[in-house]
Chain A
């Protein structure tokens, strides 16, 4: 479904500041794979997701989705295959537009917008139902500007937006990191439920080791632009947090703290 071949990207090449974000990575995801990516800060996790989304240009390598080479497609042209939830709740939604308008935009993802009224009554009814799943009362606030919502509400909205329309590939970059523990758990719950419900193919970055072990059928650990470890179920199911920390020499304090 997704094939990343020899993806490489170096920032500030040839200077003393040289940073290898991606050092020639190969990754293949099959239909329905839920792949979790972990690794210390600066390991290249976001770079990997950005490369897949089209936000980060590669020096070498190629990216294929359903066998189609998308390496040269800009972000908006890849949106018909890919949806994503950003780490920053502010990035994934348009603050001055209403909840319903944001839902509409997600609904139009990958379609050619037409010159017909966007927010029809039928659509609003559909959005109300979709939002009701969250249990946050957003279904009654369709006309509220998204900027008035809390970070957790916005992130939950981003998630619903990202999974509406059943994208071919869902990218989640630490999408619960900016939330308080309780909201983070709610959003993570909703994430796991919707992914299972729609059978989505997912690439998810997290610093939370227990999420990494509980979620998904594949696990990748990154370090300075490489894959340091790749496991899939059934082997993945036998891993424990101390395992990960000891066996693979993870020295990130943040991971230990969140474990």
Chain B
């Protein structure tokens, strides 16, 4: 037992660093689901897209920050494509997301030209800032933590401005928003685009942290993101914009510690996706099982 505990405690910093990076993805899952009423699966493709673009550019000698900026733009494009497919052709948001995610797999392969690239020998955001100690988890925590804090602060400011309020209105009630003069098109394209931008950024940071990019790195990331979001919302609640914005980061931190604990207690890594899937399923099913419980709900009124 002490062994188990020791290995779990040893892993805490590494796990925190990892969760902070994945928090970008959870943010990218939360924004369409919660703020725009647009359940979106693009993340599963936008995350490796961000990783592949960043990886290829860094391996070609570009500056890591420039590489991440390009990755973020690529992510925005992916998300806004999903939004466009839904808006223009009236295709269900989930199906639009699956279409984009599937097409992105080929695109990601094309971008990299192979299934993975090793980046250990190249420049990275972390090496740029601290060449000596770039692999120290606490250092990574500081860098990524600062970045996400700045992004969350900016997002919070945006969401309570006049424009941000109109964007949230589209998610809360499209009919009402439209009648108040809000363009559903621009709010949705901007919102879903931004969400995938954050997801791709997460992918771009992750490849620099782990030292390689892989086209398959997105597999299952969406369910991880959802699981983290559900846990986060159980912690922070959803009553205010601020709480809703803090849910992804709180959720990512809690979720990955939970996973790490399960693994050190002997859960086989192979069973991890099954366990995560069952967890999400139970959380989604709970409200139906016991009516009136205040379990965070993901199944809500959804745009057709």
Contact = CB atoms under 8 A, between A and B. Distances in A.
Contact of A104 (B158, B162, B173, B184): B162
B160 A79 contact: no
Interface in A114-145: 114-119
B172 A113 contact: no
Interface stretch (B22-30, B163-171, B191-199, B268-276): B163-171
Contact of B160 (A80, A105, A111, A119): A119
Interface of A, secondary structure class, is loop
Contacts of B173: 91, 93-95
B128 interface: no
B293 interface: no
A161 B162 CA distance: 16
A44 interface: no
Given A115-B158, A118-B160, A108 B166 contact: yes
Interface in A71-104: 74-77, 79-80, 83-84, 86, 91-97, 101, 104
B133 interface: no
A115 B179 contact: no
A94 B169 contact: yes
Interface in B166-190: 166, 168-169, 172-173, 175-184
B179 A53 contact: yes
Given A93-B173, A94-B172, A116 B180 contact: no
Contact of A86 (B162, B175, B184): B175
Contacts of B178: 75-76, 79
A161 B180 CA distance: 9
Contacts of B179: 53, 75-76, 79, 83-84, 86, 92
Contact of A115 (B163, B168, B181): B163
In this complex, the member of B160, B166, B176, B181 whose beta carbon has the largest number of chain A beta carbons within 10 angstroms is B181
Contacts of A161: 180
A92 B179 CA distance: 8
Contact of B166 (A93, A105, A116): A105
B181 A110 contact: yes
In this complex, the member of A74, A93, A118, A119 whose beta carbon has the largest number of chain B beta carbons within 10 angstroms is A118
Interface residues of A, number: 33
Nearest to A147: B172
Contact of A118 (B165, B176, B177, B184): B165
Nearest to A96: B172
Interface residues of B, number: 22
B162 A76 contact: no
Contact of B180 (A86, A96, A108): A108
A106 B168 CA distance: 14
Interface string B136-173: 00000000000000000000001011111110110011
A189 to B, nearest CB: 23
A76 B165 contact: no
Contacts of B160: 117-119
A97 B168 contact: yes
A45 interface: no
A105 B187 CA distance: 14
A114 B162 contact: yes
Contacts of A109: 180-181
A83 B178 CA distance: 11
A92 B169 CA distance: 11
Given A108-B166, A117-B160, A95 B172 contact: yes
Nearest to A100: B165
A93 B177 CA distance: 8
Contacts of A95: 172-173
A255 B134 CA distance: 78
In this complex, the member of A77, A86, A105, A114 whose beta carbon has the largest number of chain B beta carbons within 10 angstroms is A105
A144 B28 CA distance: 27
B177 A94 contact: yes
A39 B96 CA distance: 42
A108 to B, nearest CB: 6
In this complex, the member of B168, B173, B183 whose beta carbon has the largest number of chain A beta carbons within 10 angstroms is B173
B31 to A, nearest CB: 15
Interface in B19-71: none
Contacts of A101: 165, 168-169
Contact of B176 (A53, A92, A104, A111): A92
A113 B180 contact: no
A118 B161 CA distance: 5
11 contacts: A75-B179, A79-B180, A92-B176, A94-B172, A94-B173, A101-B168, A104-B162, A111-B181, A115-B158, A118-B162, A118-B165
Interface of A: 53, 74-77, 79-80, 83-84, 86, 91-97, 101, 104-106, 108-111, 113-119, 161
Closest 6 CB pairs of A and B: A79-B181, A94-B172, A113-B162, A113-B163, A94-B173, A118-B162
Given A86-B179, A105-B166, 8 more contacts: A79-B178, A79-B180, A91-B175, A94-B176, A101-B169, A108-B166, A109-B180, A119-B165
